[in-house]
Structure 1
């Protein structure tokens, strides 16, 4: 009887462990907010050269890529710390984006917004102060690219 109980405990422990590992894999694969159709797109966005372009005085602060949790759209961003004015940062990225084939968008929430086709879908590039309420010199700003392969969702900036 003791042997059966011990065997049952061992089997139960293994089964629970397998469920936890399998559930974790499924959660990471399908519950992360990144639908398969946008997974590859997120990686491509992260590799875009525009994210690595910055004014000479700017220093890399942080970066990431993946998919937005709720809507599943692909995104990649890079933030930089600089002592430059926001105006000079905006002028730098306007030139850099145009040279890289991005098209300016006039009607956007972000002050700087551009579009470009990436893997057959429209990607949106925006540049904004990390803290829009304190856009003074010496602050951090973020350059972000978003896109989705969901045809019914227009991202915009």
Structure 2
């Protein structure tokens, strides 16, 4: 009888340890924080989107296209910076049309989305679009670093999406 109780205790303990170990592996692999493998694999898909190549004829790409996965918030992203050589209004009008032609739906527009002094910048996109993509909703943002107080004559076009979490502009 004592042997049965000891065996039962060992089995329950081993099962409990297995659950704890599996939970730890899940948490460390992105279950609680960071990017999942699915979102990491989504980043190259976002980087290949033609909307990131669309630009007003007077503008020039700056640096290389970037992509990756945001470890803090767990979403894939890809984007491109351009030198602003036309008016801000011209850029916004161009992307309203280009995004619509590419199947994006305008979600929000704010021609001057500067955050209040001393506040945390949550959404500084001048234009935000959304579109179904790869089994999720992708978000396209057109934004200006100068809205964050930076001395910059660039603008950015960025796409975010997540298969396992939430993404936004």
Compute the TM-score of the two structures, normalised by the length of structure 1: 0.71
1:107–1:96 Cα change, 3 Å: closer
Matches within 5 A, 1:86-97: 86-97=88-99
CA distance in structure 2 between the aligned counterparts of 1:135 and 1:93, rounded to whole angstroms: 22
1:111 equivalent among 126, 133, 140 = 126
Farther-moved stretch of structure 1 (33-42 vs 71-80)? 33-42
Q: Which runs of 5+ in 2 are unaligned?
A: 1-28, 111-122
- Residue 133 of structure 1 deviates from its aligned partner by 4.5
1:67 equivalent among 69, 75, 78 = 69
CA distance in structure 2 between the aligned counterparts of 1:73 and 1:48, rounded to whole angstroms: 16
CA distance in structure 2 between the aligned counterparts of 1:72 and 1:103, rounded to whole angstroms: 23
1:128–1:107 Cα change, 3 Å: closer
What residue in structure 1 maps to residue 162 of structure 2? Answer: 148
What residue in structure 1 maps to residue 143 of structure 2? Answer: 128
- Residue 134 of structure 1 deviates from its aligned partner by 5.8
**1:102-144 Cα distance to aligned partner (Å, 9 max, x none):** 00103784220000011010000000112215699x8100000
Compute the TM-score of the two structures, normalised by the length of structure 2: 0.66
Aligned length: 124
What residue in structure 2 maps to residue 99 of structure 1? Answer: 101
**1:59-89 Cα distance to aligned partner (Å, 9 max, x none):** 1102200101212210001000022111100
